[in-house]
Chain A
Amino acid sequence: MRASRLAKLVAGSAVAGLMALVGWAAHAQTKPKVSFVYVGPIGDHGWSYQHHQGLQALKAEFGDKIDTNYVENVPEGPDAERVIDQLAASGSSIIFTTSFGFMNPTIKVAARYANVKFEHATGFKQAPNVATYNARFYEGRHVIGLIAGKMTKTNTVGYIASFPIPEVVMGINSAYLAAKSVNPNIKFKIVWVSTWFDPGKETDAAKALVDQGADILMQHTDSPAAMKFAEEKGIYAFGQASDMASFGPNAQLTSIVDNWRPYYIRRVKALLEGTWQTSDTWDGIKQGTVSLAPWSRKLPADVVKLAETARDGIAAGTLHPFTGPINKQDGSPWLKEGEKASDKDLLSMNFYVAGIEGALPK
């Protein structure tokens, strides 16, 4: 009968599929598994993309010695804990959770899986099996601030900001101080979009900033939307997290490029060798975690020289982007002449420096 033959076929293929799955699962059990949780899509060409590049680097470095998997587009809400828990329950040895909003879910899951290692990017809570890591993006912001101060004709820089957390605020302050140091008339216009990745909102923000007179765009969001907009408008922009030159070949002056590969390789190597320990890592230009994309050909030689001197000074430790005297926006003193900001101050920064207009969103 036709029906029973069909049923047999279906059952047969289901069994075959099941066996394939079991075989696959057994195969997966034998090696340490490295898992990643991304807040955006791996194709965002920004933040998550770079973490995914880190995963690819792990594959290239360790080859058959590890298994890898990842979950993308995980919202920083109720679903995050389940995703992390599921990775831990399904045999991951180490889980990298790569956005700030994954902090409490990571800590909660880590408490349930003492044998699994966790690494949380940009957070501040550690545990015996939870390490944290971040990059000194403000060092890159100092360099692009210098370039912006030199290259703007309207003396107005447009800044697309995400959330008023210390990381973002210190980026704005760093870029502003640097721009101000080479161009006393500089003004920063800042739009807060309350998202890490939303090309529509980012484009709207870019439009609003250009309408307010900005002729150079900076962003602390993850999509290349603003870069594309700058290209259309014929103005300049700086890429974020990845080299975005392909989206704005004429617009991009440079990009702050995150390079997580060395860190990930170091940590997974420690895991394989059994020497993994919790830690709190904050690397920057010196270690290569923060780097700058190739300079645009539109940059005059003196600006390139200025930027390279600053970059090399930061790498050598002779230049700190936050060196006094610096006052807060309300006029109260923050850093004395020659004083350098402590990491603690930077990591809890919740104020604009003097000269920036507007209020931080509260």
Chain B
Amino acid sequence: MLRLEPRREPSRIMFYVTPFLAIGLTLVAGIVLFAALDKPPLPAMRLIFIEPLTSLRGVAELLVKGTPLILIAIGLAISFRGGVWNIGAEGQFAIGALAGGTVALAFYPTTGWWLLPLMSLAGMAGGAAWAAIPALLRTRFNANEILVSLMLVYVAVLLLSSLVHGALRDPDGLNFPESRLFQTSLPILIEGTRAHVGFLVGLVAVLLSWILLERHVLGFKIKVLGQAPRAARYGGFSEKGLIWFCFLVSGGCAGLAGLFEAAGPVGQLVPALPSGYGFTAIVVAFLGRLNPLGVLLAGLLLALTSIGGETAQIAMSLPSATTAVFQGMLLFFLLAADVLVNYRPRWIAQRSAAADPLARSEAPVGTMQRLPIP
């Protein structure tokens, strides 16, 4: 039978090569897919990967779509580096939008220069507060943060929905489940498009997180916690403090992204506001190798596939699942390549689990734990 054996020295070069390998394999598989769908593959590829970049409008939309992905994924990258698996960014995104949006609606119709900063703070605080729940349960009761944070996504989305159906509903909106349009919105970066200053904030977040992870002792502690929790304990680092930090930062980033989405392109609270950014950002974080610069590029790439997927859908009548299939393939090839970088497949004639304790079938869990460290 086929076994996976851990490699003693996983190649460091391959670690940075695999994302590109995964992109290449996705392209090849995409060509096969389009051919199977009876659509001309190369024009389809052009529509997905190049067409959106050929107009100002396309580039602006790329920034609009990429901003929440980058902001959320930056927070997740920090968190995942510390081995803190916050899977609930989608919920923190929703609560951030809810908190910031509530501030705007509370002051309605009053507005001023102070309103947007206040909304942003509320958004960050909301996301961080939602992330504090799994942080508390993890540090206090050792509850599994993957489950807790994931389950809280559904609670958050329903909470947003119920408030938009009720207390926050537009009084002039004939009972439709939407809030009022906010009295203020994010400044636009490029005149005539939807690109907003949120992208600049995303760039600042990239820079700050790079400084944190590469130049600051706190980042060092987080990385040690992620790679060798016992060493972190021997080193006298506060494990609980670091877990809290990871959750609050990733929750705050997701909350801010949610508020930017509500106060930027959407302009109001709607039940469908959380449309999957929090989950796609997990792909972004891993594709970007949990490295701030990598996250920036990966975020733009995934935004490109989303927008390009729509372009292709419109121009060639492709099914809407195309985009999801593309993004899924990207993650699949990346993880598959990672498994092969970390493990050696070996054909073993006879099964003898007791003889070789290293070769137990722990491969998938093992890869997850071994993955995020350059």
Contact = CB atoms under 8 A, between A and B. Distances in A.
A and B interact physically:
yes
Interface of A: 13-14, 16-18, 20-21, 24, 35, 41, 69-79, 81-83, 85-87, 89-90, 100-101, 103-104, 108, 124, 163-166, 169, 194, 347-350, 361-362
B315 A20 contact: no
Interface stretch (B4-12, B140-148, B264-272): B264-272
Nearest to A165: B176
Given A77-B266, A87-B314, A166-B176, 17 more contacts: A16-B42, A17-B43, A18-B42, A20-B43, A21-B46, A35-B314, A77-B273, A77-B274, A78-B273, A82-B65, A82-B265, A83-B310, A86-B310, A86-B311, A90-B315, A165-B175, A348-B174
A195 B154 CA distance: 14
Contacts of B265: 78, 81-82
Contact of B314 (A13, A76, A86, A104): A86
A169 B174 CA distance: 12
B162 interface: yes
A218 B61 CA distance: 41
Given A77-B272, A78-B273, A362 B319 contact: no
Nearest to B174: A348
Contacts of B61: 82, 85-86
Contact of B272 (A71, A101, A347): A101
Contacts of A74: 320
A20 B174 CA distance: 49
A69 B318 CA distance: 10
B176 A194 contact: no
B161 interface: yes
B273 A104 contact: no
Contacts of B274: 77
21 contacts: A18-B43, A20-B43, A21-B43, A24-B43, A35-B314, A71-B310, A72-B313, A72-B319, A76-B270, A77-B266, A77-B274, A78-B275, A82-B65, A82-B307, A86-B61, A101-B178, A104-B178, A104-B267, A165-B177, A166-B174, A194-B158
A219 to B, nearest CB: 19
A329 to B, nearest CB: 15
B194 interface: yes
Interface in B154-172: 158, 161-162, 165-167
A8 B119 CA distance: 55
Nearest to B68: A78
Given A165-B176, A347-B174, A104 B42 contact: no
Given A17-B40, A78-B265, A124-B174, A73 B314 contact: no
B181 interface: yes
A13 B42 contact: yes
